[in-house]
Amino acid sequence: MNGAFWHAKWQRNEIGFHERQPNAFLIRHFPAMHLAAGSRIFLPLCGKSLDIHWLLARGYKVCGIELSDIAVRQLFAELDLVPRITATGRLRRFEAEGLCVFVGDFFDLSRQKLGHVDGVYDRAALIALPAPVRQRYATHLISITDAAPQLLICLDYDQACRAGPPFSVNEAEVRRHYEDRFELTCLERQDVPGGLKGACPAMEIVWKLEPRNETAR
């Protein structure tokens, strides 16, 4: 799996992963992050998520990164925003009225380009990546966000049932990626109704990640 896989998904409009309403876990648990309106929230691999609409409507500033130009242009159009587009290294930056989205490879985004963020919301980024990439992703995310607190949503299921994505990321793996830098709290576990695309039982798990040494940020 590589970037071409996701580009093809957007080109063919095969975006079943795109939820048609803001995520219920976000609505329920984002208040637990205790981030004031005006805080800057980073969404990695953000697509054109309606979660962005929800956060903007509540006074948050939102930044994200997405591989697909199609997704980002649709996002701004659906928000009725006309972005300013600038090049920054190998990335392009789309920006308008509290929203900034980089188009390109997540690993090309540096802390300097991203700027300060107050929190991270990862609904479908970690679980979109195959196992060999996930540790690199988590390490880079911590680095560019300066270990900002996270709200993380994962899936846990028998990976032998299907190849993914989305991939199964169980509690042991979450702890392996993040426990050195964060205190982890499980906020909710919920069975996926009907299982994962009817293939096997699955559970969604919501994690709150709080930096272990806040004064170091």
Binding-site residues for S-adenosyl-L-methionine, in ranges, read: 10, 45, 66, 123
Q: What is the DSSP pairing of strand 99-103 with strand 119-122?
A: unpaired
Q: What is the Cα–Cα distance from 173 to 137, expressed in whole angstroms?
A: 13
Q: What is the Cα–Cα distance from 171 to 71, expressed in whole angstroms?
A: 30
Q: What is the Cα–Cα distance from 30 to 124, expressed in whole angstroms?
A: 15
Q: Which residues, listed in sequence order, are joined to residue 103 by a DSSP beta bridge?
A: 66, 92
> Please, is 185 exposed, middle or buried when counting C-beta atoms within 10 Å of its C-beta (0-12, 13-18, 19+)?
exposed
Nearest to 37 by CA among 101, 119, 111: 119
Q: Coil, strand, or helix at residue 165?
A: coil
Q: Which residues, listed in sequence order, are joined to residue 211 by a DSSP beta bridge?
A: 182
Q: What is the Cα–Cα distance from 94 to 87, expressed in whole angstroms?
A: 9
Residue stretches of the annotated binding site? 10, 45, 66, 123
Looking at residue 167, the DSSP 8-state letter turns out to be P
